[in-house]
A and B are shown apart, each in its own frame.
Chain A
């Protein structure tokens, strides 16, 4: 099977399986809602202040939701010895990684799409800058978290305290991306500065780490 065919097959299989086991999805959707509500109780600013801190709040909330989704990335593969099969086969495991990363991206994007209107409502958000720029920022930022998150989830498979290992590895390395997402979002919401540099930083981050993950995933898979 061709590279693209394997990727697409894995991805559609994952989506179908996730859709069937709606329990997990519903639990995570509810978790995302809870995060928004808790944040709204914890940080209750006026409409003026909220634009300044909303960028940070929203992305921290997305980060938590992403971690919950990322932690179970490889659970099914582990249960069914899929990783062993990939290890034994001569073909590279890159399609598997891409499928997983894209699947995670789509899932986290759904969570974000659900959380955003809630944030807008609770925080009375309105973008003073060019609001359309929020979409590329969201895409680039989410991909930055998901690509490394999927990779480190694989690295954490053979560790004690697996669930805490993932955020422990992911957070320090994600700091530049986090600075990018938060500051770009704040720049657009407040309209006070240009998000261009931050968007460029996110692009650079995504390119560098997507390449690194693709190149090294096979080595990490061998290591399990």
Chain B
């Protein structure tokens, strides 16, 4: 286990460095937007990774509802947290891109808006987990995750239609994709996926340790009370 973790950490560091080099040097400069377009290589893969993590959270939550597995619950928590981190990156890099290109900080672009709503849903999920005093917090959180997943297609269609009525600039889309750009995008996607895996693994082990500590503390106070 330990060795696998170290290997992943080294691989991640190497991949991220290479992907960064690819994004800044290898990728050709885009014609209309110039160097600012390179934000693309961080913004888009972060969005993909965030959505993957939220999908993992959904699957883990459903599994918890069916099997009440603690491992599934921890995985749900971990993927939600790391997903929110990546989602935050998307929501920050998007406006930083939009400003020089479109002159505005925000646009009700379909993907950006969907990302914002997902971020809101998952932050509320994390708040529920932190504020709940019920012994069955994992169950409540899993139910909320399912509600969130049910909401996603509804959010998508509502924003899609809203945008057909109120057209807005599109973040990231449009413009031809030079094949070299596609490769750089792929490198960064793989690198960020490894980072997500690494961070999730770390957070998972941390959560397991924390729960073990809480249980031991509870045991101790119980025994002290019995004495």
Instruction: Indicate if A touches B (C-beta under 8 A).
Output: yes
Q: Which residues of A contact B140 (CB under 8 A)?
A: 155, 220, 223
A172: Cβ under 8 A from any B Cβ: yes
Shortest CB–CB separation between residue B217 and chain A, in angstroms?
Answer: 20
Question: Could you say which of B117, B131, B159 contacts A160, with CB atoms under 8 Å apart?
Answer: B131
Do B124 and A168 touch (CB < 8 A)? yes
Docked-complex contact B131 and A176, CB < 8 angstroms: no
Asked if A158 contacts B133 (CB within 8 A), the reply is: yes
Number of residues of chain A lying within 8 A (CB) of chain B = 33
Bin the interface of chain B by size.
Answer: 20 to 34
Which B residues are in CB contact (< 8 Å) with A183? 162, 165
Residues of B within 8 A of A114 (CB): none
B150 located at the interface, meaning its Cβ lies under 8 Å from any Cβ of chain A in the complex? yes
Contact A212 B147 (CB under 8 A): yes
Give the interface SS of chain A, mostly helix, strand, loop or mixed: helix
B121's contact among A165, A172, A204, A208, by CB below 8 Å, is which?
Answer: A172
- Bound-state Cα–Cα, A77 to B7, Å: 55
Residues of B contacting A159 in the complex (Cβ-Cβ under 8 angstroms): 128, 131-134
**A193/B165 in contact, CB under 8 A:** yes
B131→A169 contact, CB < 8 A: no
Distance of A74 from chain B, by nearest CB (Å)? 14
- Residue in A172, A176, A209 with the greatest tally of chain B CB atoms within 10 Å: A172
Asked if B147 and A209 make an inter-chain contact with CB atoms under 8 angstroms apart, the answer reads yes
Give, as a whole number of angstroms, the nearest-CB distance from A138 to chain B. Answer: 18
- Tell yes or no: A103 within 8 A of B by CB: no
With the chains together, A103 CA to B128 CA distance in Å? 26
Contact of B143 among A155, A158, A160, A165 (CB under 8 A): A155
B5 close to A (CB within 8 Å) = no
The reply to whether A179 and B158 form a contact with Cβ atoms under 8 Å apart is: yes
In the assembled complex, B105 has its CB within 8 A of some CB on chain A: no
A220 to B134, CA, bound (A): 11
Q: If the complex has contacts A155-B128, A159-B131, are A223 and B136 also in contact, measured as CB distance less than 8 A? A: yes
Cβ of B123: which chain A residues have Cβ within 8 Å of it? 172
Interface positions, chain B 112-156, Cβ under 8 Å from A, are 117, 120-121, 123-124, 127-128, 131-134, 136-137, 139-140, 143-144, 146-148, 150-151, 154-155
- A216-B143, A223-B137 provided; 11 other pairs, C-beta below 8 A? A158-B134, A165-B127, A169-B128, A172-B120, A177-B154, A179-B162, A208-B154, A212-B146, A212-B147, A216-B146, A219-B65
Interface residues of A (CB under 8 A from B): 148, 155, 158-161, 165, 168-169, 171-173, 175-177, 179-180, 183, 193, 197-198, 201, 204-205, 208-209, 212, 216, 219-220, 222-224
Minimum-distance CB pairs A-B, first 9:
A223-B136, A158-B134, A172-B120, A176-B158, A176-B154, A179-B158, A172-B121, A159-B131, A223-B139
